[in-house]
Every structure is written in structure tokens, then in C-alpha cells.
Chains A and B, each alone.
Chain A
Amino acid sequence: MGASQSGREHKFQDLADKTGFSIEQIKNLHSRFKYLTQDEDTLRREHLENVSNLSINPIRRQIIEAFFDERNLGGHEKGCLQEIGFEEFVTVLAFFRPPKPRIPDEEVKIIRKEKLRFLFNMHDTDNDGVITLEEYRRVVEELLSSYETIGAETAKAISDGAMLEVASVTVGQMAPDEFYEGITFEQFMQILQNLEIETKMNIHFWNLDKTTMKCGK
């Protein structure tokens, strides 16, 4: 028992080094992980789908997919996993870790790029490196689906409009026989450069504790 305990500690330490979380946070996340998976070692989609607050989230599909997307797990492979372990879970969550204060600009840029990449992967469902209109429409439709008053037509129009904005900023004029394939990652970075994603795509991890753990389900 003691050996496994220290082994786990060691593993946590590795994870903490890798993701930048503190040991405390890793431990908290681990108990949350165990709670979600009901003490199994791997997390599957249905585990996440069971989270009650998530069920009212219009883009839950994309978010859940993001956890099983291999592109987000550091490797160079593409594709979807059926289940993930704790390490993957933490790796994905690390995208939402707030950056440390007072870090040099280069690091900010890296963090920004990583976060944007995560977002981009979420939109680019077929892994081809381009968010096509089809894909974007689907995103927007899902996003707006919780607003029953906005019909699919409007959602389509909105996504078209947004896509046009992107195109007009990133590409400029196009010859009539060209067609706009979609948003590449470079363009995606370009259009979101003002968003200051590194200050927004963060959630608090530091005061996770047992009492709030219970509320998720």
C-alpha cells in the first residue's frame, strides 16, 4: 500500500511538472476524476454526459469531444479516443490554467497559441486543419440552439456573416473563381489576436476542495 501510495505521489509530481498545476490541485482533480468515473481508471463520454449542469450546455458535445481529441493531448496523432485516463484529463484541463503573473511576452504568446489551438481543434471537427463553413455553421447552430427564438436559418445567416468577416479580414479580395475554403489556424490566430485569450480562457483551480466537489452531479 505504501509503495503504491508513494508511486501515486510520484506520478502526481510528474503531472504537476508537466501541466503546471500544483500538487494540491492535482490531488483535487484526481478525486474529482474518481468521482466522475465512479472509481474507474478511465473516463468515458457518458461519464461527462452525466454531469447535470453540462446537460444544459448547448455546446457540450464539442466540449466533451475536446477531452477525447488526441490533438489536445500533446501527441501528433489525430483522431478520437474512446476513453481517457487521469493524465489526459489533467492535460486537457491544463489548457484552462491561468498563466502565472509576470511572465515574459514570449511565454504569453506560447500560452495564447496553445489556448487558441485548443479552441481551433474544437471547431475543426474533421482534423483537416481548416474550419470550413460547414463546420462553423454547425458550431454556431449548436451555440444558438439553446435560444429557441433564433431559428436555424438565422444561425446559418449569422455563421455566414461571421465567416465573411473572417474572410474579409484575412484574405481580402478574391478572384471570382476562388472559393473560401475556411479558416486556417493562422487566420484563426489573426482574428482572435485582440481577444487576449490568455486572460480569458481561465478558470480558478486553486480553491477546489471537497465541499464544492459534490455539486457537479
Chain B
Amino acid sequence: MASSVHLCLLRAVFLVCFFNPLIKGLNGDEGVIQNPHHHLHENITGLPIVTFKWHHVETPYLVVLWVFVAGLAKLSVIKLSHRVTSVLPESGLLIILGFILGGIVWGADKAQTFKLLPPTFFFYLLPQIILDASYFMPNKLFFSNLGAILIYAIFGTCWNAATVGLSLWGCYEAGAMGNLDISLLQFLLFGSLIAAVDPVAVIAVFEEVHVNEVLFILVFGESLLNDGVTVVLYNVFDAFVTLGGPMIDAAEILKGIFTFVVVAFGGSFLGVVFAFLLSLLTRFTKHIQIIEAGFVFVVGYLAYLTAEMLSLSAILSITFCGVCCQKYVNANMDEKSVTTVRHAMKVLANGSETMIFVFLGVTAIDTEIWVWNTGFILLTLIFIFIYRVIGVFLLTWMLNKFRLVPIEVIDQVVMSYGGLRGAVAYGLAAMLDEDSIPEKNLMISTTLIVVYFTVILQGVTMKPLVQWLKVKRAAHSDLKLIEKLNNRAFDHILAAVEDICGRIGDNWWTRGWNRFEENYISWLLMKPKARKNRDYLFSIFHKLNLEDAVKYVSEGERQGSLAFIRSDEAANVDFKKQFGSEFSNYELGIENFSVTSIVKDTIPSVSLNIHGQDRKNAVDDTNAHHLLQQHLYRSRKHHRHKYSRNHFSINQSEDEVQEIFQRTMRSRLESFKSAKMGVNQAKKITKHHKKELTHKMANGHPDGKGHLYGDEVDSAVGSETGIINSTFMRDTYTVGAGIENPVFLPDMDSHSSLPWLMETEAVAPSQRAQRRLPWTPNRLRRLAPMRISTCSTDSFLMADVSLTPEEHEELPQTDYDDMRPVFE
């Protein structure tokens, strides 16, 4: 079935037109290339080297070609000049492009050989879009507005279907449409298929407009759910139509209503069940990590098909599957798999969205389907618009009586204007039974016109409207972490105040559910390990830090070296005051760590800011380059890509690790030697008090631009590295693993905690090299939560500063003892 559908769907006629003559020509000219392969056996004269087997691959080839063409269409749309794309929404452009493609096909074949057939649409194009939309649904927002969304989706759709159907019927009876063969039931059927706001179109338009989040979730959630509702409604009316007018009595109508409820809620319930299964499944996929991402799609699709099989609402099923599983799936799966799912989901959804719009355009270029009836078409357009507005305002008026934050009038206007119809309506119209509905083609063409009208015209005017009405836009904020913290605090505060007032309110329910979810559902569906890291706040934090790290590295690489530029908006914050107090708890000797490294200007503090305004002189640059050359590991392309179907990683060669290790050791040794000269100086300097020094250092930069970067960073880094090194060396010494030059090690270890050594270490490898620290896995782990803290390159460094106290704590007492003689 699939192949036949695809055959029909994706007859890339332009290809056929251009290739067929070619094929024929080839056949005529050369005997070797045989077109249909059954000829092969007949006039085979020798072993054919190359054969041309077009019919052999025709179907899949055309499918792929159409997909490819759709992709190209999207590309060309994106590449269009900005002026066009800023006016026309992408979806509209794709439809227009579809017109052109359809024109080509029609011009070549003299008939439309291609149509978007309902089964293709409902089985192969729609599910991934719905899954994508629901999988990325902002859960909290969705569920906190679920009541409103459901009311819009269910009652709004029913209202639209009933009023549009009835009004059209009324006008028909009044004679506004001339002579048509449509009964009341068929009008209602038409009303139900045209009622639903289409998620594909709505997302495509609203994504570009950035309205505020409540408005977005209302429109988006409504469009997603009312698709399900409209399909159900359609099926009910379709059954009525087949049954015929006279057969319908009160019992049948009651049955119809009952069906509606069962199908809609049964579908949703089925989706939740599948989400449950999927979440449970991902708990155990640890050992097949490479394919675990696939489960999301497969199970999602299964949810869809199963619902279809049970004649429940498939769209609702896959919607709820996506919405409910996301949390657990994301927590259970490996981070890479999560990324895979995200990307694959976007690829699929975006791809089929593009195809849908293109095909909607292509479908239009067909003389067969076009039946014009001005009255019917115009009245449909008008009624759809009017009843959408009335419905939205009516329902909102009722909702606002219960809502804490009423939906504003402006938002209501945008909501009603955002009633875009799309491919679902067309798919349903194309599914109509020609035998029982003689005016099927009129309905199809009306639907198509409605779709074009709403997507293109309303899509174009949506943005200006939103601007003109000054709709509250989505506020973009950089303050992700503090915002999340505040939201979290908020939830608790509100719940607490409700407790104090003794009221069982929304917050009470939310909290009750959260607790239940945490205690039972998460316990059942989540890996114990995942449950630990799952906290939302933590994940935000983690994500931000990952972003930072990536930015940090790419920034460095963009510079062509590992120079770290400072970003201008980043702040320079000094938490020294706070840390100062903590510092005082520790040994004096430790304080001197940072002190020495702050003060020693004689030794060029590395490359941290080649870009910088601070130190522009050439000497430093040369120094830095020299150092970088010396210390950085240059990849020698030792990566061996071992092919494996089960594992996906570049195996870091042992050599490389070893080499990094050796280089670091060598550099350390060198700096150690040279540092011996600096003993006196270091001693002298240690007498300064720390704060004084910070101050002094600031004065050291006459231009006042000696940000954190210059010395203070070094101090932080220096002290940190020093300690890292000392711990590290102790580790390696005791463990004795991978030591290449054992001669030096004992020697170094005994001196490892000397301050001047620490300080020269500040000159060592460049930040990134330090950051990578291949040598101390255990250290890295300890750093993990801390290191990943913050938002800019600078704050990265700040994190290091904030690290120092902990570092000191971790230093074993023996080190302090080592140090004391030096300072006293």
C-alpha cells in the first residue's frame, strides 16, 4: 500500500518528462543500455556492462526526488531576498512555489498527475509534525493552560463546525448558491472539516511573530488538539452522511456524541499509555544507546497507528504521547541520544511541513478539481472568519471569569485572526466519499481556497497586525538562571500563601501532583541516576554551562589561537570580598599562593589576552606565541576512526594522551628550573597582604583597563593550577601510571607545593590546555559542578576564582607543612 501511495503521490512528472525522451533516445542509439530489464534476457548478446533499469527504481526514485525538490524549494525560499521573506511567511511562499512546480508538471503532462492523497498525508507526512510539536511542547505552560486550551479546542471546534455548517445551509436554502446537491448533513460535514485550525500553518506563522507565551500556547495548543477533535467530528458526521438522513434519530445522535467523547478521550488516553511504555522502555536502553533515539519515533508512530487501528483519534494519541514522554525520555536517554532525537525530529517535521505546503500548491494546478461556486466559496470564507471571531470572544469571555489573569482583548483579536486552515482540512476534504457526496469537488476547491486565503493572506497580515496592535511580545531575557530561580521561588511562595490562607487552589493541586509525580511516576519511569540529575534548575544550569564551554572554546578557536577575547557585555565581578572572609580561615601560606602569582609581573603571564588592550607589546606576544607553540599539543592526526555500528566515538589514541602528559611534564620541569631564580622575590612579596595587593595591582594599570583579565585571572588560574598540579603530581606519583620520565618525578613532587613553582605554573600551557587537564580525571569530576558555572568567558574565570577556597580545603595538611618553612 505504501508503495502504491507513494507512486501516486510522488510522480515527479517533470522528471519523467525530461528523462523519458532521454531514455528513449538512449534506447534507440545504444543497444547495450536496455530500459526495461525483462528485455535483458531476450536479446542478450553478451554480458552487459551497464544496464539502465528505470522501472526497477522508479517508485522510490520519484519519492526521493520529490523530497529533494521540496527541500530545494525550501532552500530557494530561504535564499530569497530578505524583503520578500519579511513580508510573506515561509508557508505562503512554499505554497506559491508549489503553484509554479504544479504549473511545470501540468504544462508537461497536460494534466495533473500528481495529487496529495489523504493516506499519504495522514500516514507519512502528518505524524512527525504532530510528534515534533508535542515533543517540544513547553510542558508546564501547556498543562497550566490546559483548561483553556481544551475549551477552545473542543467547544471552539464544535462551535465552528456547527455554525459554519448551519449558516451555509441556511444560505443555501435561501438560494444564495444556486443549484447544488448538498444536504444539511453534508453541510455539517463540510463545516466540521473546515473548522479546525491547522497546527502546521499556525506554527509556521506564529513562529515568525514571537507573541507572548500565553497567547502562543493557547493558539498552538488549541490548533494541535482541535485537529484531533475535528477528525473525530468529521468521522461522526461522515458516518451520519453514509447512514443517510432518514435513519438518524435521537439515539443515533446520542451515539454520535458518545462516540465523539470516546474517540477523543480514548485517543488521548492511548497516547498517555504509549508515553508510559516509551518512558519505561528508555529506562533500559542503556546498552543499545546507538538506537535508543529511534524508539521515540517508532513508539510515537505506533501510538498513532494503534489509535488509527482502534478508530480512536490518532492525532490526539500521538500528541499526548509526545507531551507526556518528553520529560522521562530526555532524562533517561543519553545526552547524545537526546540531541539526536531533537535533530531528527526537527528534520522530519520541517521536511514534511515543507512538503505539505509545496504539495498544497502543486495540487491546485489541476483543472479537474476546480468547481467554482461564488456563493458557496465566498460565504464559507466569510462565515469561517466571523464565527472564529465570535467563538473566540465568547469562549474567552467565559474563561476570563475563572482565570486569574484574564486574556486581553488584543490577544483575543490575534487568536481569532490566527485561525489558519491547513493541510488537515484539505486531507479530510480529499477523503470525502464521492458517491455519497456529489459536490465533493466543490468542497475540495473551497477548502483549497480557504487554505490559500488564510495561510497566504492572513499569514502576510499577521505580523503587521501584531505590531500594530502592540501585542505583548515574548520577552527575551538573558537572565536565564536567575529567572528560573525566581520562578521556582515563586511557586513555593504562592503555594505557601495559599496554605496560609487555607485555600486549595491551583498551586495546591500543582504541588500535590508534583509530589505524586516525583515520588511514584518518576520512580517508576526514570533511571535512578537520571532522577538525580533531573532537577529542572540543575539542567538549566548545566545547559548554560555547556553553552558557555562551547562558546568559550569556539571563541578561542575563532581567534586562530587560544587567545581569549573578552566579550564586552560580560561583567567583571569581584567576589573577593566574600571570599576574603573565607580565605582568612585558611593558613596564611595558602593565601600567599595567589599573592605571589598576582604580583610577579616579571614573568609574562601567558597569552590569556593576546587580543587584549592590556598588554599590547610585542614582547608579550612573542612570548605568548612561543609558549603556545611549546605547550600546546598539536594534533598529529592520530585519531583512528574505528568503524563500529554500536559505538560512535573517535577513540582517543593512547599516544595522544601520553603525549599531552609528557609535554606538560616537560614544561613543568622547565619552569621549575627557571623558577628557582625567583626565590627571593617570591619571599619578599609574600609579606604583602592580599587586599592591599589587589589594590596595588589595579593601580598597576594606568589605563584603568586592567580588568579581571590581566593579573587577577592569572592569580586565580595560577593558584588553581598550582594546586591542581600539586594534587596531580601526588596522584601520579602514588599511582605511578603512565610516567615517562620517572627521574624527575620524585624531585618535582617534593617541591610541588612551593609557591614559586605554583606561580610559574601560571605561565604554563594556556588556559585551554589547563582546562582540559587530561591528567586528573578525578579532579575534573570534582570540578564539574563548579567549573560549569556561569555565563561568559569572564565568568568562567570567576568560577575559577570561586574555586580556590575549595581547592585549599582539598589540599592535604601535609602540603601546608611543606610550605611553612618556605615562608617563615
Residues of A within 8 A of B (CB): 29, 32, 35-36, 48, 51, 53-54, 57-60, 63, 67, 93, 96, 98, 101, 119, 122, 132-134, 139-140, 143-144, 147, 149-151, 153-154, 157-169, 171-181, 191-192, 194-196, 199-205, 208, 212-217
* B431 surroundings in chain A (CB, below 8 A): none
CB-defined A-B contacts under 8 Å, sample of 16? A60-B496, A67-B500, A132-B578, A143-B485, A150-B538, A157-B789, A164-B573, A166-B482, A168-B569, A168-B573, A169-B478, A174-B571, A175-B698, A179-B574, A191-B479, A208-B502
Q: Which of A166, A208, A217 contacts B479 (CB 8 A)?
A: A166
* A201 surroundings in chain B (CB, below 8 A): 490, 493-494
* Residue in A closest to B535 when the chains form the complex, CB atoms: A147
Complex contact B789–A59 (CB within 8 A): no
* Distance (whole angstroms) from the CB of B363 to the closest CB of chain A: 44
Bound-state Cα–Cα, A213 to B535, Å: 33
1/0 per residue, CB under 8 A from A, across B496-507: the answer is: 111111111111
Q: Which of A122, A154, A171, A195 contacts B785 (CB 8 A)?
A: A154
Bound-state Cα–Cα, A181 to B489, Å: 22
Bound-state Cα–Cα, A172 to B792, Å: 12
Q: Which of B475, B505, B788 contacts A204 (CB 8 A)?
A: B505
Complex contact B482–A165 (CB within 8 A): yes
B708: CB under 8 A from chain A? Answer: yes
* Residue in A closest to B484 when the chains form the complex, CB atoms: A162
* Residue in A closest to B786 when the chains form the complex, CB atoms: A157
Residues of B within 8 A of A (CB): 404-406, 475-483, 485-486, 488-490, 492-508, 531-535, 537-538, 541, 544-545, 568-578, 694-695, 697-698, 704, 706-708, 710-712, 785-786, 788-792, 795, 798-799, 802, 806
Complex contact B405–A199 (CB within 8 A): yes
Complex contact A160–B695 (CB within 8 A): no
Complex contact B538–A177 (CB within 8 A): no
Complex contact B571–A208 (CB within 8 A): no
Complex contact B698–A177 (CB within 8 A): yes
* Distance (whole angstroms) from the CB of A171 to the closest CB of chain B: 6
* B795 surroundings in chain A (CB, below 8 A): 161, 164, 168
* Residue in A closest to B475 when the chains form the complex, CB atoms: A194
Bound-state Cα–Cα, A204 to B694, Å: 53
Given known A176-B694, A204-B404, contact A35–B502 (CB-CB < 8 A): yes
Q: Which of B475, B504, B571, B806 contacts A167 (CB 8 A)?
A: B571
* Residue in B closest to A89 when the chains form the complex, CB atoms: B500
Instruction: List the 5 closest pairs (A to B, CB-CB), nearest first.
Output: A216-B502, A168-B571, A179-B574, A194-B475, A177-B698
* B486 surroundings in chain A (CB, below 8 A): 119, 192, 195
Given known A176-B707, A191-B479, A204-B503, contact A134–B798 (CB-CB < 8 A): no
Given known A177-B695, A178-B574, A201-B490, contact A161–B481 (CB-CB < 8 A): yes
* Distance (whole angstroms) from the CB of B719 to the closest CB of chain A: 16
Given known A176-B694, A177-B574, A178-B574, contact A212–B479 (CB-CB < 8 A): no
Complex contact A168–B574 (CB within 8 A): no
Interface majority SS on B: helix, strand, loop or mixed? helix
Q: Which of B476, B535, B791, B799 contacts A168 (CB 8 A)?
A: B791
* Distance (whole angstroms) from the CB of B394 to the closest CB of chain A: 18
Given known A54-B499, A157-B785, A167-B571, contact A98–B404 (CB-CB < 8 A): yes
Bound-state Cα–Cα, A163 to B799, Å: 12
* A98 surroundings in chain B (CB, below 8 A): 404-405
Bound-state Cα–Cα, A160 to B544, Å: 13
4 more contacts with CB within 8 A, not counting A53-B508, A157-B802, are A147-B538, A154-B541, A157-B789, A213-B502
Which of A32, A93, A166, A179: most chain B CB closer than 10 A? A179
* B483 surroundings in chain A (CB, below 8 A): 194-195
* Distance (whole angstroms) from the CB of A111 to the closest CB of chain B: 13
Interface majority SS on A: helix, strand, loop or mixed? helix
Complex contact A177–B502 (CB within 8 A): no
Given known A164-B795, A172-B571, contact A140–B485 (CB-CB < 8 A): yes
Bound-state Cα–Cα, A67 to B496, Å: 12
Complex contact B494–A96 (CB within 8 A): yes
Q: Which of B475, B478, B499, B694 contacts A57 (CB 8 A)?
A: B499
Given known A139-B489, A194-B475, A203-B497, contact A160–B790 (CB-CB < 8 A): yes
* A192 surroundings in chain B (CB, below 8 A): 486
Bound-state Cα–Cα, A173 to B708, Å: 10
* Distance (whole angstroms) from the CB of B237 to the closest CB of chain A: 39
Q: Which of A134, A161, A165 contacts B478 (CB 8 A)?
A: A165
Complex contact B574–A174 (CB within 8 A): yes
Bound-state Cα–Cα, A202 to B403, Å: 11
* B711 surroundings in chain A (CB, below 8 A): 176
Bound-state Cα–Cα, A169 to B405, Å: 29
Complex contact B479–A177 (CB within 8 A): no
* B698 surroundings in chain A (CB, below 8 A): 175-177
* B576 surroundings in chain A (CB, below 8 A): 179
Complex contact B694–A51 (CB within 8 A): no
* B505 surroundings in chain A (CB, below 8 A): 203-204
* Distance (whole angstroms) from the CB of B397 to the closest CB of chain A: 12
Complex contact A176–B572 (CB within 8 A): yes
* B485 surroundings in chain A (CB, below 8 A): 140, 143, 158-159, 162
* B697 surroundings in chain A (CB, below 8 A): 176-177
* A191 surroundings in chain B (CB, below 8 A): 479, 482
* Distance (whole angstroms) from the CB of A188 to the closest CB of chain B: 10
Bound-state Cα–Cα, A203 to B533, Å: 31
* Residue in A closest to B493 when the chains form the complex, CB atoms: A63
* B573 surroundings in chain A (CB, below 8 A): 163-164, 167-168, 171, 174, 179-180
* Distance (whole angstroms) from the CB of A98 to the closest CB of chain B: 6
Bound-state Cα–Cα, A59 to B571, Å: 30
* A139 surroundings in chain B (CB, below 8 A): 489
Given known A143-B489, A158-B789, contact A54–B481 (CB-CB < 8 A): no
* Residue in A closest to B478 when the chains form the complex, CB atoms: A169
Given known A154-B538, A174-B571, contact A212–B577 (CB-CB < 8 A): no
Complex contact B495–A176 (CB within 8 A): no
Q: Which of A63, A167, A171 contacts B496 (CB 8 A)?
A: A63
* A217 surroundings in chain B (CB, below 8 A): 502
* Residue in A closest to B568 when the chains form the complex, CB atoms: A173
Complex contact B406–A134 (CB within 8 A): no
* B477 surroundings in chain A (CB, below 8 A): 194
* Distance (whole angstroms) from the CB of A20 to the closest CB of chain B: 15
Complex contact B503–A171 (CB within 8 A): no
Bound-state Cα–Cα, A26 to B576, Å: 49
* Distance (whole angstroms) from the CB of A144 to the closest CB of chain B: 7
Q: Which of B482, B500, B533 contacts A149 (CB 8 A)?
A: B533
* A177 surroundings in chain B (CB, below 8 A): 574, 694-695, 697-698
Q: Which of B479, B502, B707, B790 contacts A175 (CB 8 A)?
A: B707
Complex contact B500–A216 (CB within 8 A): yes
* B577 surroundings in chain A (CB, below 8 A): 179, 181
Complex contact A149–B531 (CB within 8 A): yes
Which of B497, B498, B501, B707: most chain A CB closer than 10 A? B501
